[in-house]
Amino acid sequence: MRALSLGRWLRGAVRARSDGPGRARPVPGSPQKVTVDVLDHLEHLALVDFRDSEGVERLQKAIQFADQLHEVNTDGVEPMDSVLEDRCLYLREDDVTEGNCTKELLKNAREKVEEYFVAPPGNIPLPKLEEQETYLQSS
């Protein structure tokens, strides 16, 4: 079943969330069940609908890619935020050097009104868990 295989992929992501940012190491032999609730939470955070096979596949690939990080043994290594963290933060003078490129920026807009970008009204609320006929539940 698709849901179960997805659950295996989600394992890493779910643990990372509960352990804090970027510090998670997989604990061998502790399978974590991915519930439909977790999937629902992810959908709401990302405002992405996983309800088709393409969406699920994309998610699987993303998790698979990220899981490669766990193959590196980091035992006894001090965690770091970034490879730049021992560099100096360059301080810029407070001068205006950019802007005035409305036309170029708006070229990227699918829809615009005068000089405004047009977006849908607010965030589109996803249907509540009990209301949704998801791909996962129906498969």
- Closest CB 126 distance from another protein, rounded Å: 11
Choose which of 75, 101, 131, 138 interacts with another protein (CB under 8 A): 101
Q: Is 88 in the site for another protein (CB under 8 A)?
A: yes
Residue that is written with structure tokens 């539940």 in the block: 137
Q: Within 13 A of 90's CA, how many CA atoms are on the CB side? A: 3
Q: Is 87 in the site for another protein (CB under 8 A)?
A: yes
CA-based nearest residue to 31, from 12, 47, 46, 50: 12
What residues from 25 to 84 belong to the interface with another protein (CB under 8 A)?
A: 41, 44-47, 81-82, 84
Euclidean distance between CA atoms 94 and 134, whole angstroms: 51
N residues, the chain? 139
| 68/100 with CB nearer another protein | 100
- Closest CB 97 distance from another protein, rounded Å: 3
Euclidean distance between CA atoms 137 and 68, whole angstroms: 29
Give me the residues that bind another protein (CB under 8 A), please: 17, 21-22, 41, 44-47, 81-82, 84-102, 105-106, 108, 113-123
